[in-house]
Each structure stands twice: as C-alpha cells, then as structure tokens.
C-alpha cells in the first residue's frame, strides 16, 4: 500500500529512465464521515499505479494538497491556492526536462484543481520539449464508469459516491469507515456551488451513491484507466517511425 503512494524506485531501476513521468495530484478535503480526507490523493495514486501495470513510466510521489476551497466549511480540509499549485507543477516540469523526460501525465483526482487545465495548455505552448497531458479527462472518467458497470453519472455521483468509494474499496479498503453504504445523498442542481461552497447542497459532505460501490467496480475502473492512457502516452512521446523501404 505504501509503495502505491511513495514509489520505491532507485536511481538504477529501468523505470527511472522512462520517457514518460506520471504525477498524481490529489487534495486534502472532506469526503463525508466515512471516507478519509486524503481520498483524492489515494485515488490519484491508485490510477497512477494502474498505469504502471501496463506502461513503463516514471511514477512520481503525489501532490497531496489542492484547491479545495469549496469544502472549507468542513473541519480538516486544507487548501493551497491556484497559483501555488501552478508553481508546484511548473517547477516539477522544469526539473523533469533535465532528466530527458519527454512527457508528463498529470493524474488529477480532484475537480477543484481546475487550474491544471490552464497549466497544461500553457506548458504545451512553451519552448521546451517536454509535453504535458491531463488525465483522466471527463470522457475518460465516463468511459471508466461504463467499463466498471458504475450506474451513476459523473455529475450525479460527484463526491464520495459510487465511483470514489469503489476505487477505495479496491485499492485502499482499510481507509474506509463503517457507514459508507448508507450515506447516499442526491443534489443534482448545484449551480451556485462555486459561490456558496458545497455545504448548502449536502448535510454530510457526500453527493452521490456510495451504497452502489463495490471493490470489483473499483478494480475494473482502475484497470480501464491504466490501459486507456496509451493514446495519451503516444501523443506525448510518439513511437519511432519505421525507416522507409528503399
């Protein structure tokens, strides 16, 4: 379990010279009474570990704080600003260029880290050769839900719901507390969330359907995400083209 969060690579391991690095980015915020504050970080690490099972990449340790200001009313939530998160990812990117890394996949598991979209777009317009990709996209998450048989949607199952609970059941079951299976809460109209925070929309911090979660769904979702990143890897570091036949 610890190795999924802090990689045990040494400098002589083949993965240390991979052309693609993967950076998990999470958050430290409330996920209701039954899931830990570090849920998003654990999920980002689980997705990253799934990627390493199918692709040779350099797994980096996670960024454990994110932009969680919408959860500030709940005890335990700790945030960093968008500028700070931007600086962290930018500095890591610059360091990786000295390691001859060709591509960095930023695995983001917290929707509030929206600034990462801008970070990736801006980095890809710069002069250095390292390209960035943000993963999973909204479409990737939706496809993972379908592949895993998750019945709820990204929108309705927004926080500490069926998918997040399933992934924790698969990857880090010891982190869950009893009671998650009876904590469903629906709040489909959240149009003022960025103004009011999440509190007015849920008494517990949960928005979604954890009662539908299973470890099997979590394993299937992670396996899909681990395989499905192949297209992004090829975009960041295109495979060599065969020499033309004379």
Check pLDDT > 70 for residue 245.
no
What ranges do the domains of the chain cover? 2-8+17-236
Interior CA angle at 223 toward 165 and 241, to 5°? 145
CATH class of 2-8+17-236: alpha beta
Which of 141, 85, 77 has its CA nearest to residue 117? 85
Q: Give the pLDDT of residue 243.
A: 66
Q: Give the pLDDT of residue 35.
A: 98
How do residues 165-223 score in pLDDT, each as one tens digit? 999 999 999 999 999 999 999 999 999 999 999 999 999 999 999 999 999 999 999 99
Where do the H-state alpha helices sit in 13-137?
A: 39-54, 82-97, 115-123
Mean pLDDT of the chain: 95
pTM of structure? 0.95
Q: Give the pLDDT of residue 172.
A: 97
Which of 114, 122, 133, 118 has its CA nearest to residue 68? 114
Burial of 86 (0-12, 13-18, 19+ CB in 10 A): middle
Q: Give the pLDDT of residue 114.
A: 97
Where do the H-state alpha helices sit in 111-214?
A: 115-123, 138-148, 162-171, 193-196
Give the Cα separation of 197 and 208 in Å (integer): 16
How do residues 39-56 score in pLDDT, each as one tens digit? 999 999 999 999 999 999
């Amino acid at each position: 379990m610890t190795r999924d969060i802090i990689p045990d690579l040494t400098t002589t391991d083949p993965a240390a010279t991979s052309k693609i690095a993967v950076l998990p980015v999470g958050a430290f915020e409330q996920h209701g009474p039954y899931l830990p504050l570090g849920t998003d970080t654990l999920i980002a690490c689980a997705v990253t570990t799934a990627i390493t099972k199918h692709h040779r990449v350099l797994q980096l340790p996670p960024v454990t704080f994110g932009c969680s200001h919408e959860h500030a009313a709940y005890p335990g939530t700790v945030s960093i600003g968008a500028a700070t998160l931007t600086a962290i990812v930018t500095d890591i990117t610059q360091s990786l260029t000295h390691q001859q890394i060709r591509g960095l996949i930023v695995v983001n598991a917290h929707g509030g880290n929206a600034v990462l979209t801008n970070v990736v777009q801006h980095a890809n317009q710069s002069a250095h050769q390292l390209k960035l990709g943000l993963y999973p996209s909204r479409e990737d998450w939706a496809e993972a839900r379908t592949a895993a048989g998750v019945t709820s949607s990204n929108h309705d199952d927004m926080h500490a719901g069926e998918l997040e609970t399933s992934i924790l059941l698969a990857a880090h079951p010891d982190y869950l507390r009893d009671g998650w299976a009876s904590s469903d809460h629906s709040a489909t109209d959240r149009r003022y969330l960025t103004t009011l925070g999440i509190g007015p929309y849920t008494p517990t911090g949960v928005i979604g359907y954890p009662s539908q979660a299973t470890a099997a769904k979590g394993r299937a979702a992670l396996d899909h995400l681990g395989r499905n990143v192949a297209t992004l890897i090829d975009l960041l570091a295109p495979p060599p083209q065969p020499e033309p036949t004379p």
